[in-house]
Amino acid sequence: MATQDATTLDVDAIREDFPVLDRTVGGDVTVPGPDEGDDTPLYYLDNAATSHTPRQVVEAMTEYYYEYNANVHRGIHTLSQEASVAYEKAHDRVAEFINAAGREEVVFTKNTTEAFNLVAYTWGLTELEAGENIVTTEMEHHASLVTWQQLCEKQGAEVRYVEIDENGELDMDDLREKVDDDTAMVSAVHVSNTLGTVNPVVEITEIAHEHEALSFIDGAQAVPTRPVDVAAMDADFYAFSGHKMLGPTGIGVLYGKQELLEALPPFLVGGSMIRRVKFEETTWEELPWKFEAGTPPIAEAIGLTAAIDYLEEIGMETVERHETELATYAYDRLNEFDDVEIYGPTDRGGLVSFNLDGVHAHDLSSILDDHGVAVRAGDHCTQPLHDILDVPASTRASFYIYNTKAEIDELVEAVDTARQLFA
Ligand code: PLP
């Protein structure tokens, strides 16, 4: 594990924990893994899509499979008890990390998307009434936007979208206007995965509560990159994914205030989430197990615990500082080109989305890929936002703890090559 002083990351040491960063690219992509045609160093700048996994996380999961692989909550034998303890403790570790009151408030889902669906199918279908509204924003990821849109359609409720201004920031006056006494939920992304905008989530939650509405904050890009305190934020629901914060795929988190989760019906039903089943009726397990039907993501929960350990050893303030430094550097360097348009405010989370005049994002990223630079091209699951930006797609570079300014220089150089090619 990397050591560093309180303010700067020892990126070289960190990179040693991520073997994939040493690989080269450029060869046959029809088979996974390096091949003889791979001769270009990899510059991985697609962390907002998914982050890489350090040895420590892989080893924690390997240890589970090699030494105490068993199902949880259903065996008296030693292995099952060990696995159950590790799985339960993973909830405690997540609770500590985001300052939730305890494991009762931490439900493991498949990902952020499932967390939104869980709330829509439980709270939404039972509580949201015709004539009420859900206020969300123009910069939401489809995981939240489509979920609220479909829920409102089913329930005869209205979905309202808070506008963004020309800097890509939320128009808070518009938000205040759109939230009224018929608002049942206010839902906003904490850090936009396209614009990088960091939204004022405390204020958003306060406005929701002034109207007795609930708040649901999408933390998919925030939890990996900055300290998050759900208690201080007073959010009612908060969601994020393990795979964007050094953890494995297949596990996400829904945080919910205990009294709210207690009151909700289950989402999926079956084994593990029941207390007593009779032919006539069934009663539910206590929180959080009531929302975790079937065999849960055990190895993934153990991996997520190791990912949190890794991030905490670095310190989330330090992670945030590093993200800001790289995003500012990338913004400034790309801004040197007058034919590059960058979206979003100058104060931003660790990502930069942009377009090169007259060049489709897919063509640009394909050239970047030839230079070993891995970025995301497309709509980043924010199609309505791209409609507002009036472009079909954009190219997004996103940074994490193992990235360096030198990698951003590679990005900028590759963009410059593309500029000359398409000029
Ligand atoms: N919300 C935001 C802001 C995201 O960036 C993403 C993923 O890109 C999601 C939600 C959905 O995450 P997942 O695909 O892990 O469910």
Cβ atoms of 359 and 377 within 8 Å: the answer is: no
CA dihedral 213, 135, 48, 255 (to 10 degrees): 20
User: Do residues 131 and 156 touch, judged by C-beta distance below 8 A?
Assistant: yes
The closest-lying atom of ligand 1 relative to the alpha carbon of residue 189 is 3
Which pLDDT score, from 0 to 100, does residue 1 have? 55
Whether 189 is in the pocket of ligand 1, judged by its Cβ within 6 Å, is: yes
pLDDT per residue over 258-293, tens digit each? Answer: 999 999 999 999 999 999 999 999 999 999 999 999
pLDDT band for position 380 (cuts 50, 70, 90): very high
Question: How many contiguous H segments (helices) and E segments (strands) does the chain have?
Answer: 15, 17
Residue nearest to atom 2 of ligand 1 (CA): 220
Q: Do 413 and 371 touch, CB atoms closer than 8 A?
A: yes
Residues 353 and 274 placed together within one structural domain of the fold: no
Binned at pLDDT 50, 70 and 90, residue 132 comes out as very high
Q: Cα of 301 to ligand 1 centre, how many Å?
A: 18
148 and 280 inside one domain: yes
- Residue where a domain terminates, one of 313, 343, 361: 313
> How many angstroms separate the alpha carbon of residue 181 from the centre of ligand 1?
29
Coil, strand or helix: which one is 398?
A: strand
pLDDT in tens, 206-257: 999 999 999 999 999 999 999 999 999 999 999 999 999 999 999 999 999 9
For the Cβ of 51 lying below 6 angstroms from any atom of ligand 1, the answer is no
> Average pLDDT, stretch 387-414?
98
Ligand 1 in contact with 141 (CB < 6 A)?
yes
Q: Are 304 and 336 members of one domain? A: no
What element of type H or E holds 384? helix 383-389
- The verdict on 277 and 349 lying in the same domain is no
Rounded Cα distance, 286 and 261, in Å: 10
- Of 313, 347, 368, which residue sits at a domain end? 313
Ligand 1: which atom is nearest the Cα of residue 110? 16
- Cβ–ligand 1 contact at 318 (below 6 Å): no
Mean pLDDT confidence for 135-162: 98
Phi, psi (5° rounding) for residue 170? -70, 140
Same domain, 101 and 245: yes
Q: Are residues 246 and 362 in the same domain?
A: no
Tell me, yes or no, whether 25 lies in a domain.
yes
User: Among residues 221, 246, 223, 141, which one has the least CA distance to residue 398?
Assistant: 221
Contact 214, 264 (CB under 8 A): no
Residue 145 has pLDDT above 50, yes or no: yes
Q: How far is the CA of 113 from the centre of ligand 1 (A)?
A: 7
Assess whether the C-beta atom of 143 lies below 6 angstroms from ligand 1.
yes
- According to DSSP, residue 120 is labeled I
CATH code for position 19? 3.90.1150.10
Q: Is 353 in the pocket of ligand 1 (CB under 6 A)?
A: no
Q: Are residues 283 and 370 in the same domain?
A: no
Among 141, 217, 237, name the best residue to mutate to test ligand 1's pocket (greatest count of ligand atoms within 8 A of Cβ).
141
The residue whose CA is least distant from atom 4 of ligand 1 is: 220
369 token code pair: 């890929």
**Ligand 1 binding pocket includes 221 (Cβ within 6 Å):** yes
d(CA 397, CA 140): 18
Do residues 28 and 73 share a domain? Answer: no
Specify the ligand 1 atom closest to the Cα of 252. Answer: 15
Handedness of CA 386, 387, 393, 394 (dihedral sign): negative
Ligand 1 midpoint to CA 279 (Å): 40
* β-pair partners for 137: 162
Percent of the chain with pLDDT over 70: 98
Residue 417 forms part of a structural domain: yes
Locate 392 and state its tokens: 């079909």
Q: Both 39 and 118 in a single domain?
A: no
For the segment 304-325, what is each residue's pLDDT rounded down to a tens digit? 999 999 999 999 999 999 999 9
53-105 pLDDT, tens per residue?
999 999 999 999 999 999 998 779 999 999 999 999 999 999 999 999 999 99
CA distance 304 to 69: 16
Domain encompassing residue 29: 11-52+315-421
Instruction: Give the pLDDT of residue 3.
Output: 46
Of 307, 309, 260, which is closest to residue 107 (Cα–Cα)?
260
Q: Is 113 in the pocket of ligand 1 (CB under 6 A)?
A: yes
Looking at residue 73, what is its pLDDT? 87
* Tokens encoding 112: 């952020």
Q: Is residue 329 part of a domain?
A: yes
pLDDT at residue 5 greater than cutoff 60: no
Residue nearest to atom 12 of ligand 1 (CA): 112
CATH number of the domain that 215 lies in? Answer: 3.40.640.10
Q: Which residues are catalytic?
A: 381
| Number of domains, the chain | 2
Model pLDDT, residue 27: 87
Question: Which residue reads 């292995």 in tokens?
Answer: 79
367 and 258 in one domain?
no
Instruction: Tell me the one-letter amino acid at 151.
Output: L
